[in-house]
Amino acid sequence: MTTRGARLDAGSTAIIEDFPVALAWAPDGASLAIGGGEGGIYVASIDGIVRQIGEHAPGVLELAWQPKGAVLASSGQDGAVRMWNPAQQGQEPRLVVQSPRWPAGLAWRSDGNQLATACGKDLLLFDAEGRPAAKFAGHKIAPSHVVWRGRDALLAAGNGALFVDRIADGSIEQLGLEGTPLTLALSPDLKVAANGLADGTVNFRYLNTRKRSRMSGYAGKVDQTVWSANSRWLATASTGATSIVVWDFSGKGPEGSEPLQLEAHEERIERLAFQLNGPLLVSAGRDWRVALWRPGPGQRAALDIQLLDGPASLAAFSPNGRTLAVAQTSGKLRFFAVTGP
């Protein structure tokens, strides 16, 4: 995709009667699932048609669409994990987990054959039909975030610990994490795990060598950490921040270097998102602004800025990177086409 002069062209809008807290694109990029803070689960097509497919009363936690598949996984404050097939209207979802605790983390393996989630100190795996596949019960701390590392391992982060769970032998390795993680982001090349921490730092763990680094200087809790598709750039933001801090992992990495500072917002940045297949970054803020960027040396100006009619809460690129969805706190969903000159 050409990025010089890339811009956002406004498209359709949709409305849900809820506060959006989670977004998940369908693999074909034709529709988007939205989870509401009051429990509704909705599917919106890119032409703005919305329907509710179910709920997690009193609120949705996470959504995850099966890669290359038809199944939408959801977790909620009711302690449940469910699997839905939105294409089959009227079909009851499959109940995968019912727990007295809130499920934490919801992640499909890249081939779509297994789903991982954490309940208490246990990490649970299920097949694509919702049947139990494996259980890791040796965590000393309850994980709050879960991601796959390829097909053979999982990373799980909890208060003061980063775990590496290996599928082949069921082993669990505990690595130190000095703080409470608000995020867990794995670089696409599977080499670096980044945690945004509540103490205003970012923890980098180089997984091949186990080397760890910390970056400080943030004004608030670091609640945004997203990787570029080529694993070079890690974009971060802290609570209350109006600027994006971007670390460069090329060469010797970010240690001892100055990060890029991207400025376009006047109020708190609520969401950062990179394209899955390209270099573009989007930021959406409480100041009603959506900014498009291409981070890089000398690339500090926004390529485009769109003004909404209210604060933004979420943003996500479609799988092919050609459509951007932005959810507003009011329940409005805006679609933008990502175009070149």
Q: What is the pLDDT of residue 91?
A: 85
Q: Give the CA-trace dihedral at 48, 51, 55, 61, to 10 degrees.
A: -20
Distance CA 167, CA 206 (A): 20
Quote the distance between the C-alpha of residue 334 and its chain's center.
18
Please, what sign has the CA dihedral across residues 206, 207, 212, 216? positive
Q: What is the pLDDT of residue 280?
A: 97
What are the residue ranges in the chain where pLDDT is below 50?
1-3
In angstroms, the first-to-last Cα distance of the chain is: 11
Quote the distance between the C-alpha of residue 179 and its chain's center.
20
Exposed/middle/buried for residue 163 (C-beta within 10 Å: 0-12, 13-18, 19+): buried
Distance CA 78, CA 101 (A): 8
DSSP string, 61-74: EEEEEPTTSS-EEE
Judged by DSSP in three states, 289 sits in: strand
Q: What is the pLDDT of residue 4?
A: 57
Exposed/middle/buried for residue 278 (C-beta within 10 Å: 0-12, 13-18, 19+): buried
Query: In b/e form, how buried is each residue of 255-265, taking b as 16+ CB within 10 angstroms?
Result: eeeebbebebb
Closest CA to 327 of 14, 3, 85: 14
Residue 243 tokens, joined: 């600027």
138-170 confidence digits (pLDDT tens) = 999 999 999 999 999 999 999 999 999 999 999
**Kind and range of the H or E run holding 212:** strand 212-215
